[in-house]
């Protein structure tokens, strides 16, 4: 598949490039614990919305542009090219919470929550994992009991990314403890400011409190916050994971190549290409990143036919994780002792250890490839 095949698409790209050249924030994204990070991301999101660049493939009735995933990909490519901030407290909202509401939410939920995301008002987080339920997500134990027209939630979640900056959470709760474990689960929109919600940031190896533990002590939300139906949350969660592992983080599949080009530039300028093993490793990851980009285009062409990408996206994601990890290690070898000066690439290398875990571990992805793509026996 080729992008930019039509005059319209070329013009769209030009327009995006011009807008970005005038609007990308001049200040770097703060890497701090305080409210500055949320404010920075909100301001950048608001600016994109006002410029008409938020929710390119979301419906206009919710504030989007109503274009296709192809235009969305062109926008991602231009964001990457302009070195614009992409990581954001809105990552969950755009990557999978919003898409889940689009696929499974009712009209009221869509028209209330989606425009708030696009306008940069309300970051979301994801409360799926628990201390005893990660890979085996269906073992989750956080309870929700129906009380009149409310749900009363008690339990705890862990590794909630950006939890401390979020207003809403996509939360999986057990509503029927007697049902088989994949039944009895409900997907709810959690108000992260509700009384009884206690959010405790966890500082990671790179010094940044990206993840949180979240405790729910009889926290109440309206029953109207249930997405789809009570006890049908496993099926909604599968929609969330399909978005997360499919088109959700397409920009990551496109940005790796830019990172490797930057590495190559740096290696050239600092005489590191004389080391044959560095040159060989750079050439290999560059080719792999190009393959990942082609696979991203493949995903877009699949999604264009109105289908959610299938289990093959798991293979793409697993391979991307491998390339990210190898490229981050290579960056450290190229930097040498300079890496000890806490360069951005040092931080990237430290956080790369979490890549094979976040969003489902590589082992689990391999199980999916073996069982669902290759049809191997269990
Ligand atoms: C950076 C980061 C961000 C995250 N953000 C979020 C978030 O926002 N929201 C959220 O809900 N969760 C989040 N998570 C949690 C993540 O989804 C889980 O850590 C992950 O699913 C693994 O679960 P676990 O940690 O309980 O490990 P476990 O499931 O206990 O796994 C331990 C080890 O056993 C292996 N293993 C387990 N079962 C099998 C099997 N059947 N076959 C083969 N090997 C197996 C695993 O691969 C792993 O190596 C995040 C994690 C990270 C690292």
What's the rounded mean pLDDT across residues 173-185? 97
- Asked if residue 271 and residue 187 are part of one domain, the reply reads no
pLDDT score for 301:
77
**Confidence check: pLDDT of 205 > 80:** yes
What's the rounded mean pLDDT across residues 26-54? 93
Give the Å distance between the CA of 248 and the centre of ligand 1.
19
**Confidence check: pLDDT of 317 > 60:** yes
Per-residue confidence band for 376, with pLDDT thresholds at 50, 70 and 90: very high
What's the rounded mean pLDDT across residues 141-162? 97
Per-residue confidence band for 299, with pLDDT thresholds at 50, 70 and 90: confident
Give the Å distance between the CA of 186 and the centre of ligand 1.
20
Counting from 1 in the atom list of ligand 1, the atom nearest the Cα of 204 is 1
Q: Which tokens is 320 given?
A: 């991307």
Domain of 289, in residue numbers: 246-373
Q: Is residue 118 part of a domain?
A: no
- Tell me which residue has its CA closest to atom 44 in ligand 1: 363
pLDDT score for 245:
79
pLDDT score for 50:
97
Report yes or no: 72 and 99 within 8 Å, Cβ to Cβ: no
Which of 169-173, 252-256, 362-366 is predicted most confidently? 169-173
- Asked if residue 227 and residue 144 are part of one domain, the reply reads yes
**In the chain, count of helices (H) and strands (E)?**
12, 7
Q: Is residue 358 part of a domain?
A: yes
- Tell me which residue has its CA closest to atom 3 in ligand 1: 358
- Asked if residue 254 and residue 321 are part of one domain, the reply reads yes
Q: Which tokens is 33 given?
A: 């614990």
Q: Which tokens is 245 given?
A: 């592992």
Between 240 and 247, residue with greater pLDDT: 240
Q: Is residue 32 part of a domain?
A: yes
Element (H, E) at 111: helix 107-118
Between 59 and 312, residue with greater pLDDT: 59
- Asked if residue 334 and residue 266 are part of one domain, the reply reads yes
Residues designated catalytic: 244
- Tell me which residue has its CA closest to atom 17 in ligand 1: 359
- Asked if residue 363 and residue 274 are part of one domain, the reply reads yes
Q: Is residue 360 part of a domain?
A: yes
Element (H, E) at 191: strand 185-191
pLDDT score for 253:
84
Q: Is residue 134 part of a domain?
A: yes
Between 258 and 195, residue with greater pLDDT: 195
Element (H, E) at 219: strand 211-222
Q: Is residue 368 part of a domain?
A: yes
What pairing do the DSSP bridges indicate for beta strands 124-127 and 185-191? unpaired
Report yes or no: 333 and 285 within 8 Å, Cβ to Cβ: no
Report yes or no: 74 and 254 within 8 Å, Cβ to Cβ: no
What gap in Å lies between CA 140 and CA 132, rounded to an integer? 7
Q: What is the CATH number of the domain that holds 169?
A: 2.40.110.10
Give the Å distance between the CA of 267 and the centre of ligand 1.
35
- Tell me which residue has its CA closest to atom 41 in ligand 1: 364
Mutate to test the pocket of ligand 1, among 123, 169, 357, 371 (most ligand atoms within 8 A of CB): 357
- Asked if residue 195 and residue 138 are part of one domain, the reply reads yes
Counting from 1 in the atom list of ligand 1, the atom nearest the Cα of 361 is 47
Give the Å distance between the CA of 335 and the centre of ligand 1.
31
Reported as half-sphere exposure (CB side, CA atoms, 13 A), residue 39 has a value of 7
Considering its fold, how many domains does the chain have in total?
3
Q: What is the CATH number of the domain that holds 36?
A: 1.10.540.10
- Asked if residue 268 and residue 349 are part of one domain, the reply reads yes
- Tell me which residue has its CA closest to atom 26 in ligand 1: 134
pLDDT score for 233:
98
Q: Which of 43, 72, 88 is the last residue of a domain?
A: 88
Q: Which tokens is 174 given?
A: 């057990």
* Pocket of ligand 1 from Cβ distances under 6 Å: 126-129, 134-135, 159-161, 211, 354, 357-361, 363-364, 367
**Confidence check: pLDDT of 81 > 80:** yes
- Asked if residue 364 and residue 257 are part of one domain, the reply reads yes
Counting from 1 in the atom list of ligand 1, the atom nearest the Cα of 362 is 47
Q: Is residue 353 part of a domain?
A: yes
191 forms beta bridges with 168
pLDDT score for 308:
63
Q: Which of 231, 256, 284 is the last residue of a domain?
A: 231
- Asked if residue 260 and residue 226 are part of one domain, the reply reads no
Q: Is residue 93 part of a domain?
A: no
- Asked if residue 181 and residue 261 are part of one domain, the reply reads no
What gap in Å lies between CA 200 and CA 151, rounded to an integer? 23
Give the pLDDT confidence of 106-150 residue by residue, as tens digits: 999 999 999 999 999 999 999 999 999 999 999 999 999 999 999
pTM for the full predicted model: 0.94
The rounded percent of the chain whose pLDDT value lies above 90 is 77
Q: Which of 168, 197, 231 is the last residue of a domain?
A: 231
What gap in Å lies between CA 91 and CA 165, rounded to an integer? 12
Per-residue confidence band for 298, with pLDDT thresholds at 50, 70 and 90: confident
The closest alpha carbon to 93, from 135, 38, 139, belongs to 38
- Asked if residue 365 and residue 298 are part of one domain, the reply reads yes
Q: Which of 152-156, 171-175, 318-322 has the lowest mean pLDDT?
A: 318-322
Counting from 1 in the atom list of ligand 1, the atom nearest the Cα of 161 is 8
Give the Å distance between the CA of 73 and the centre of ligand 1.
28
What gap in Å lies between CA 303 and CA 297, rounded to an integer? 10
Q: Which tokens is 347 given?
A: 């931080």
- Asked if residue 151 and residue 41 are part of one domain, the reply reads no
What gap in Å lies between CA 43 and CA 36, rounded to an integer? 10
**Confidence check: pLDDT of 2 > 70:** no
Q: What is the mean pLDDT of the chain?
A: 93
The rounded percent of the chain whose pLDDT value lies above 70 is 97
* Residue 152, φ and ψ in degrees, nearest 5: -110, 120
What gap in Å lies between CA 126 and CA 162, rounded to an integer? 9
């Amino acid at each position: 598949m080729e992008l930019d095949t039509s005059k319209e698409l070329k013009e769209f790209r030009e327009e995006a490039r011009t807008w970005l050249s005038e609007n990308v924030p001049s200040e770097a994204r703060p890497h701090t614990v305080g409210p500055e990070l949320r404010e920075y991301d909100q301001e950048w999101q608001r600016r994109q919305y006002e410029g008409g660049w938020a929710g390119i493939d979301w419906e206009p009735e919710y504030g989007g542009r109503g274009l296709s995933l192809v235009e969305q990909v062109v926008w991602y490519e231009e964001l990457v090219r302009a070195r614009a901030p992409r990581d954001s407290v809105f990552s969950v909202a755009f990557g999978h919470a919003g898409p889940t509401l689009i696929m499974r939410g009712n009209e009221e939920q869509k028209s209330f929550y989606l425009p708030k995301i696009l306008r940069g008002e309300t970051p979301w987080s994801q409360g799926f994992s628990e201390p005893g339920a990660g890979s085996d997500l269906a073992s989750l134990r956080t309870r929700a009991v129906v009380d009149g027209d409310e749900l009363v939630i008690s339990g705890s979640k862990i590794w909630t990314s950006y939890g401390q900056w979020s207003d809403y959470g996509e939360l999986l709760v057990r509503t029927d403890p007697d049902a088989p474990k994949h039944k009895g689960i409900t997907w709810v929109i959690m108000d992260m400011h509700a009384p009884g919600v206690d959010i405790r940031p966890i500082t990671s190896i790179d010094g940044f409190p990206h993840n949180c533990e979240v405790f729910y002590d009889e926290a109440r939300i309206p029953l109207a916050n249930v997405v789809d139906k009570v006890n049908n949350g496993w099926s909604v969660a599968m929609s969330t994971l399909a978005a997360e592992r499919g088109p959700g983080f397409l920009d990551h599949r496109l940005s790796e190549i830019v990172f490797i080009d930057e590495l190559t530039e740096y290696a050239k300028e600092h005489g590191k290409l004389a080391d044959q093993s560095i040159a060989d490793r750079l050439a290999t990851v560059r080719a792999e990143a190009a393959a990942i980009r082609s696979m991203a285009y493949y995903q877009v062409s699949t999604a264009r036919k109105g289908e959610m990408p299938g289990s093959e996206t798991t293979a793409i994601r697993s391979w991307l994780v491998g390339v990210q990890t190898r490229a981050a290690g290579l960056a450290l070898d190229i930097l040498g002792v300079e890496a000890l000066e806490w360069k951005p690439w040092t931080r990237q290398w430290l956080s790369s250890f979490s890549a094979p875990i976040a969003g489902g571990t590589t082992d689990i992805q391999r199980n999916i490839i073996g069982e669902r793509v290759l049809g191997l026996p269990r």
